[in-house]
Amino acid sequence: MDFIIPYSQFSVVSIILLATVVLILYANRAKRDTRYPPGPRSLPVIGNLLQMGTKPYLTLQKWASQYGSIFSIKMGSDDAIVISDHKLVKELFSLSAACGKAQNPVFTVIGGKYGIVNGEGNVWDSQRRFTTRKLKDLGLTNSSIEVPLLEEAKSLLNWFERRIKEPIMGCNIFNGVVVNAIWNIVSGQRCEWDAEEEPELLKQSNAVVRTLNKTVMSGLVFAPSLRHLAPGLFGWTDWINSYSNFEKLMDAEIEKHSAKLDPNNPMDLIDHYLLENMSTTDPSSSFYKEDGERSLRAVIVELFIAGSETVSNTLSYAMLYLSHFRDVQTRMQQQIDDVTGGDSRLPSLSDRPLMPYVEAVILETLRYSSILPLGSPRRMVEDLVFHGYLFPKGVTVIASLYAIHHDPNIWGNDAEIFRPERFLNENKTKVIRHEALIPFGAGKRQCLGEPLARDTLFIVLTSLFQKFNVISELDGTTPDFTSATGILNGPKPFRIIMKRRTAKCT
């Protein structure tokens, strides 16, 4: 005879078991090393999820003022430590003990243990060194990257020219330009982003970021175990499917490159990776056979996910800010005219040292928008006592970049005001870079795409504002500068109107 517990008794048993689990969890928390950072109380299973709200970075900013620049939270059942001081972030993230990658299931979908974003140890070290070197060879850190960027800028100018005086949605208009900047380096190609039918590359890359944002907005990042309970509700299913589709698109491109590969004349990043994979005979290497293929795919996808939306959103924010702060736009245009001689030629990267105000506008846009408000979380790979606090092995470490970039103790009482002059010297002739501005992260895992991002921002913005005045559709009213919710900060929907300007000619 089967042993059956009546429903009423089953409920009692369930409550007792749940209560036991809760008591164990809190007992374990009470036994925690006294050097572990303080933090807000959390609930079993979901941790601090309910307290985070729709914009966790603002909650973490508030908690920093309560618990200090180093405090702890619970992401579901996992421990995390938050740092809200730029000096501490730079110091910790430069240490090997903090060089691991946070193993959050939402993000480990991207490449798994392969590639750079989620790779650790020898895998991460070899993949990052190789990719950094090859990106440098392909022009990422020198002026040769300027040619494809100027081509994209010209396409963008033509696109706006066809829409003069028409209201244009300011969000997502730069996706094609940024995707092409990355695609040119990765594959030596470009897509016709302004074609009547959206190219598959652009469609799939947009879908990947969109579904990732949906998953993050659901709160799954802070309670990843919930993906097992209702994967459709939390966006998990869409995220997995869109990522898989994008991987297939990259696999098809890798196959094309393999078929036409010239070992004596590698043309792009895919070619260089394929040659490295072919020449690797060490079975323990991340470039060896199947591991090499997985690493290549992971790196390509990572470059798109990490690079495309961040730069695109930054450009959109710049349009939002400058369409409202018209005096800033005018000063920026005046400097562009003075350096380029009006509209006689497009700006170039060599002009950057001569345009300190333009550079200050870009730096202030990076600070004010804080596109990646919580940076790229790390994982401790060994126990470490850091400034009196215990950072245990396995704990996730979050750099609260938004809190750092908006800290009045660093930036003054006008930290919530868009003011490019904070990055200039007194006579406004020289850029003053602030050590607390770390939009691309810090330490050993700092974003390797930073040079491309900065070059893209400069070329696109100077080209646009040389040719056009950008006006808010709701001119005369203050727009909503707050961010849409997601893993990346992005502006809420807004419209702009482009008007041709008559630049000064000399």
183 part of a folded domain: yes
396 part of a folded domain: no
91 part of a folded domain: no
Residue with tokens 């501490």: 88
pLDDT, one tens digit per residue, over 160-217 is: 999 998 999 999 899 999 999 889 889 988 888 888 888 999 899 889 888 988 888 7
Spatial CA neighbour of 430 closest among 366, 353, 363, 367:
353
Cβ distance 254 to 271 under 8 Å? no
| pLDDT attached to residue 3 | 38
402 part of a folded domain: no
Rounded Cα distance between 139 and 8, Å, is: 70
Cβ distance 419 to 321 under 8 Å? no
**Phi, psi (rounded to 5 degrees) for 83:** -120, 130
31 part of a folded domain: no
358 part of a folded domain: yes
Spatial CA neighbour of 367 closest among 433, 459, 446, 447:
433
Instruction: Measure the CA angle with vertex 10, ends 7 and 13; round to 5°.
Output: 160
Q: How confident is the model at residue 373 (pLDDT cuts 50, 70, 90)?
A: very high
Indicate which CATH number applies to the domain containing 320.
1.10.630.10
pLDDT, one tens digit per residue, over 447-465 is: 988 989 999 999 999 999 9
The boundaries of the domain holding residue 431 are: 112-370+409-500
399 part of a folded domain: no
How many domains does the chain divide into? 1
For the full predicted model, state whether its pTM sits above 0.85: yes
400 part of a folded domain: no
Cβ distance 111 to 297 under 8 Å? yes
Provide the token pair at 87.
């000096």
The H or E element that residue 459 is part of is helix 450-467
Q: Is the dihedral of CA 257, 243, 93, 85 positive or negative?
A: positive
Mean pLDDT of the chain: 89
How many Cβ atoms sit within 10 Å of the Cβ of residue 112? 11
Answer whether residue 82 shows pLDDT above 70: yes
